[in-house]
Amino acid sequence: MKSKDRRRARGGDEPEPESEDGPAVEIVPVRRLLSAAVAGFALLLGVGLVMGAQTAGVGTGRIPYAVVILGAQLLYVFATTMAIRPPGAKVVATVGVLAAISADLAAILSDVASVAPLGLIAAGGLVAGAVGQMVRYEGRVRVSESLGSTVVIVLGVVSFATLIVLTRLPAGTQAIVVCLIASGIALSVARLTDVFAPYPRLADQVPRGSAGIVIGAMLGTGVAALIGRYLVPFTPSDAALIGMAAAGAAVLADLTIGFAEAGRELAGEAPTMWLARHMQGPLAGFALAAPVAYVISVFFLVPA
């Protein structure tokens, strides 16, 4: 009698033994319409950040751009808090919002155009987050996890504020144009490529294709080189190198968010709100591209 017939004779089926490689992992399908929507969001966010920088004035004339930056920061706080879902989420979100407002004001009002005040605000936000977690009713339960989430959020909102500081530096606005356009193109093209050719898959649990990452970074670099022909003090080669750094940082940050979300789901955590989950990647990409633009400006564009 065959083994299948013997199982039936005993009154039921036995579970199939797992292979030596462990249980089969479900391949997460690529949702093409969603990829197109995320691409549109990344492009709109990039356009808003670039156009805001172009219209920034002097002194308090930078307040309108600070409002644009604050909008991006609030979206980042919302999306990251909802995606990570740390213990004491209200404390983490409150610290993030206060750090965002403080960083924007410091970027506008400080006597010297520097990120030093932003560093102090980031440190203060981390201290405030630690104190807030300690005085919670639950006490120190999962406090280290909550503090880790606070670090991610505070550093992200402070990174956005570096764009305001950049508008106060020589050639800083031009650096914003090159870096953020390259980043926006890279992020949107990477997502649009997933609509048509999400291959080869980087991981079964992450619905992204490596072709999109490569093509997006390459096109972002190419657009930066084209912009460099018309912006002083850039040359096409300089702008290409700067755009490549910003675009590469943006798409890698976006991809890292996808792997982090897949890791949380594999760990058994319930899926997060879909809107926050898919906004988080582009927001993190621009949050990382902003300090890249600042560092490039300070070391390569500001006269010694």
Q: What is the pLDDT of residue 272?
A: 66
Q: What is the pLDDT of residue 13?
A: 46
Say yes or no to pLDDT of 170 above 70.
Answer: yes
Angle, CA 194 vertex, CA 191 and CA 199 arms, to 5°? 135
With a CB cutoff of 8 Å and minimum separation 6, the contacts of 124 are 99, 102
Q: What is the pLDDT of residue 268?
A: 74
Helix H or strand E segment including 3: helix 3-9
- Contact call for residues 96 and 72 (beta carbons, < 8 A): no
- Picking from 107, 119, 244, 236, the residue whose alpha carbon sits closest to that of residue 183 is 244
39-73 confidence digits (pLDDT tens): 999 999 999 999 999 988 888 889 999 999 999 99
Tell me the average pLDDT across 92-109.
96
- Higher-pLDDT residue of 8 and 109 is 109
Say yes or no to pLDDT of 4 above 70.
Answer: no
Tell me the average pLDDT across 102-107.
96
Q: Name the average pLDDT for the chain.
A: 86
- Contact call for residues 186 and 212 (beta carbons, < 8 A): no
CA distance 274 to 33: 13
* Helix, strand or coil, per DSSP, at residue 184: helix
Residue 19, phi then psi, degrees to nearest 5: -70, 170
- Higher-pLDDT residue of 2 and 161 is 161
133-166 confidence digits (pLDDT tens): 787 766 565 677 778 889 999 999 999 999 999 9
With a CB cutoff of 8 Å and minimum separation 6, the contacts of 27 are 201, 204
Q: What is the largest CA-CA distance in the chain?
A: 88
Q: What's the pTM? A: 0.88
Q: What is the pLDDT of residue 131?
A: 87
For the chain, the domains span 46-53+171-304, 57-166
With a CB cutoff of 8 Å and minimum separation 6, the contacts of 213 are 190, 202, 251, 252, 255
Q: What is the pLDDT of residue 3?
A: 46
**Helix axis angle, 274-296 to 172-196, nearest 10°:** 140
181-231 confidence digits (pLDDT tens): 999 999 999 999 999 998 898 888 888 999 999 999 999 999 999 999 998
Q: What is the pLDDT of residue 248?
A: 96
Q: What is the pLDDT of residue 16?
A: 42
Residue 41, phi then psi, degrees to nearest 5: -65, -45
**pLDDT confidence tier of residue 19, bands split at 50, 70 and 90:** very low
Q: What is the pLDDT of residue 142?
A: 66
